[in-house]
Chain A
Amino acid sequence: MGGWLLRRALQAVVTLAIATALLFVLMRAAPGDPLFRLSADRPISQKEIEVLRARYGLDQPVGRQLAAFLGGLVHGDLGVSIEYGRPVTALLAERLPATLLLGGSVLLLNFTVGLWLGVRQAVRRGAREDRWLTTLSLTGYAMPSFWLGLMLAWLVGVEWRLLPAAGMQDPLLSSDAGWLTRAGDVLRHLVLPVLTLSVVSIAATMRYQRAAMLEVLHLPYIVTARAKGLPERLVTWRHAWRNALFPVITLFGLWLPILVSGSVFVEAVFAWPGLGSLAAGAVGGRDYPLLMGASLLVAALVVAGGFLTDVAYALLDPRVRIG
């Protein structure tokens, strides 16, 4: 097991290294120059462009830029953002907590509510509750997040004023407010973006879980468990659900990178100060260092998602052989 884990981890590192090099080259090959953005609003002199090009190392050949980037990466230095004029690592570190809070809350809701509802649907297959939940989940799945976000922000935030329409915290909150007050404030700001993102993700998880459970519920070992006289709840959750969990583990691996990349629109609509909105701005401005940092983070999450899924399979499914 230890050897397998090591090999799998090495594979992940190699994958990440290849992804990094590809991202770097593709970004520079794409049309658009980060410094032309400066001329969008006002005339800019050639001297100014030259000084800034040298400042950000953009006057160097791509190979040398890549070498400098990798050299910095080894020391945890991702360069300086052209847009913000600050170290990329600092910018990512500032925005990461907000993204983790939003994405983590969505994942938590997704894999509690989504799984629970999917299982309920499967055990009540064909009943009115199943039909209603199927309709609801399909509606939720078909609903564009940005549209739902706009509607919720306008209706709940502006018209009804029940929850904050945007932001992550109330800037007017007294600096000596206690942690409970601060946590409550963030919680209130969190509700609408989480709800917006969860509707789609819960719907997807429900569909996956329902299908997986339906496959398992017809297997002979479930009939045997029932024949032994086990309570239905035990049959459902201990025997059926555990075996119906594997497709959802795969889904978890796929959702992990969406923590960062999937919330771009929702972060914009709710002015949520996360990585998604930071990365979106970097794309528009061709802020290579920031774009590279954010892309690297997403790539790392993709690789980590695959790695964790494999490990989970290996640990949980006795049918999966490792080595």
Chain B
Amino acid sequence: MQHFMRGKIMDDLLSEFLTETAESLEIVDSELVRFEREPGNRDILSRIFRLVHTIKGTCGFIGLPRLEKVAHHAETVLGKYRDGVIPVTQDGVTVILKSIDCIKGILASLAQTQTEPAGDDSALLAALDEAAKGEAPVAAAPAPAPAPVEAPAAELGRPLKPGEVTLDELEAAFRSAPGPQEQKAEAAAPSHAHALAQPEAPETAKTETIAAQTLRVSVDVLEDLMNMVSELVLTRNQLMDIVRRSEDSEFKVPLQRLSSVTAELQEAVMKTRMQPIGNAWGKLPRVVRDLSTELGKKIELVMTGAETELDRQVLELIKDPLTHMVRNSADHGLERPADRRAAGKPETGTIRVSAHHEGGHIVIAIEDDGRGLDAAKIRAKIAERGLASDDELKRMSDAQIYRFIFHAGFSTAEKVTNVSGRGVGMDVVRTNIEQIGGAIELSSTQGQGTRFTIKIPLTLAILPALIVGTAGQRFALPQTAVAELVRVSAESGSKIEMIHGSPLLRLRDELLPLVMLNEVLGVSGASRDLTQTFIVVVDLGSQRFGLAVDAVFDTEEIVVKPLAAMLRQLPLYSGTTILGDGSVIMILDAASIGQSAGRGETDNAAKATNDNNAASGHGEAGKESLLLVRAGDVKLMAIPLALVTRLEDVDAARIESSAGRPVVQYRGRLMPLLPIAAGQTLRTEGKQPVAVFTDGERSAGLAVDEIVDIVDERLVIEMRSGIPGIAGSAIINGVSTEIADVSHFLVQAYADWFERKAPPGAERNLLVVDDSAFFRNMIAPLLAAAGYRVTPASGPEQALRLKEQGVKFDAIISDIEMPGMDGISFAMAVRNDAQWGGTPLFALSSRNQPADVERGLMAGFNAYFAKADHRGLIACIDETLAPKGVAA
């Protein structure tokens, strides 16, 4: 009988049988696990019975006696369960699962050798017979009906009274009742991996009905189909490109039709590749069940988001890593029931597997509430393996330490168990995930649990992208990230503002941080003229920012090709593509660009959107923005906002003392805190308001009692004071207010705040022209710190007098708005002069409309800066004066 059918027909039949049976067996697995929890569920039982029955029948037909016998005996037991002749027991289910495994083993061998392997199943068959007799010892009864317990319940500390149940049983009953999501998940699991299923097919419980509506298609055929569609899309793009360039063409209309049909075809084929992730999870319930028996632990598996779809290929690749991680959690993560009880946790450990879509990715999480990672142990192991020096180890945070488990051969498990230690390390998992363009992260809290998060891009597919250009190169930006396009100009109502040297985009009533694409890419050659740039407003959901580019081309449907292996670790790119004209361009990863925007600039943006114009540091034309505060004995004091980096509310409890001075940890460094007025004491509890001044890496905090207001005022310093720390006083809002001398405090914080090494023998002389003494006093120290010698002049008249005296300067910095002669006239006068004609002229003004800038440049200024942009000014001066006088 075994050699009855040979030849081609047999081979086809056999492979058909193998595929079909393999699928059925997987379903049987998860169904059995479900069934164990709900032995009363007749539907599941019937389904299982039918599947095993079918297997038995087919085996007999094809001539596989060994398989047939095993299936037959299993079917007997199932039949008795179905007919209610014997009760369902855990041992019984275990034996049936064993027989399923046996069948799988035989099938695997069959696939290899085309014949049944010889083997003795008598032990298994005997066990099945025993189970059929219903003589297995009574184990846990079906969950909903709690069994009487003799031992004292853990929490109560006394024996249970009749009718009472243990907390665990209650929890188990609670959990075993299928929630709405689980039901959906389990219904989705049986969908066939190779079928062209209708996406809207109603989820029925009958597997046969699904089978009737689907058909089996070879994976290769789908793959070819997908490739052909991609080629079609590219060719279509090329044709569109050509037709677009010719004015009138008879091709236009038919091409339009072709284009829309292609789009539909594309979408349909894409759908065939998408599969619910539940398919990869199919094995998990069985795996977890077996593990909990084997390890003597109580484990609950919760799966959410099984219907989340992803590409079939990707699914195949993550199946094993996922299983491996779940095994890890069960084996190493979760503690034994006794340990869990001792730790005050519920005896049953939970492993939570979830999936959802986020942006263009699928995010999968595997979480357990076990013992978490032992950072100390890992550190020891790292040291032992010499993977990092002791020094480095000390500086590493726990999070960084945890990442070492992704190293090859790294296992801190005391004994590498059979379960998870079987040679598939976390390094392989990570490699597998990264190969498909994904990423894996982990977080852990000792004693509480561990969580792995995997993020994988959805089908590397076709998506609409905006083509932008900078520095002569083109790049693609996924359309999904693009909110709008803005052209910065006087007419468009949007403008670019500088705050503390960082450009921000004012867009209607929003202030967005601005990222220059050429800077992110590190390429030069981009236009520096911000009045001519295009800004792409990028919306990532969690973040909005503007991306400044030189040119915007058009939107194209691009076929995303995964990054080449050597480029994969570059976070800036998410793929490559070929445009309609055949050129290859890189696809930008908007999120990673967003990270450069997030650094610091968003803080300024947030601050500014709260405080409107006032927070921009230079306020309305001609006025200074001032921060009004109350401190100590001083009722009202003003701090020029232009210098302030941030306003913070420091937790007073965190204020420490260093060398007798109050300091606080700020952004990873110690920041000195200075009271700003006499009679002021720093808070010891609650919040201490602080105005933070940052210069490069250093920060100094001026502590105040209360921030009263922010105002724009035309500053006319009425009285100079001789009091250190006070620059003078002025009338603000009709009230006499003291103006803080910020430099005084900064020098108190760091004696060398304003000192920087001036290049030897290259001392340059600068002339600063401004009618505001206050402003002169503010900018002079900053310029001095940059290594320049500063000569102040209260106005163009005084400046020109210096010129008469024959004084020469390396550069002149001038305000625009001045009484008497203004900056424009001054510039023209300078330019017309023989002596000073060639001196670089810089404008520093609070008027920054493009018209003002243009006027200034026309008048002869080399560059035009906002008053608050002292950093930009200094950089420009450095750059302008640098080539001369470099120390020989």
A and B held together in a complex: no
Q: Using CB atoms and an 8 Å cutoff, list the residues of chain B in contact with chain A.
A: none
Q: Using CB atoms and an 8 Å cutoff, list the residues of chain A in contact with chain B.
A: none
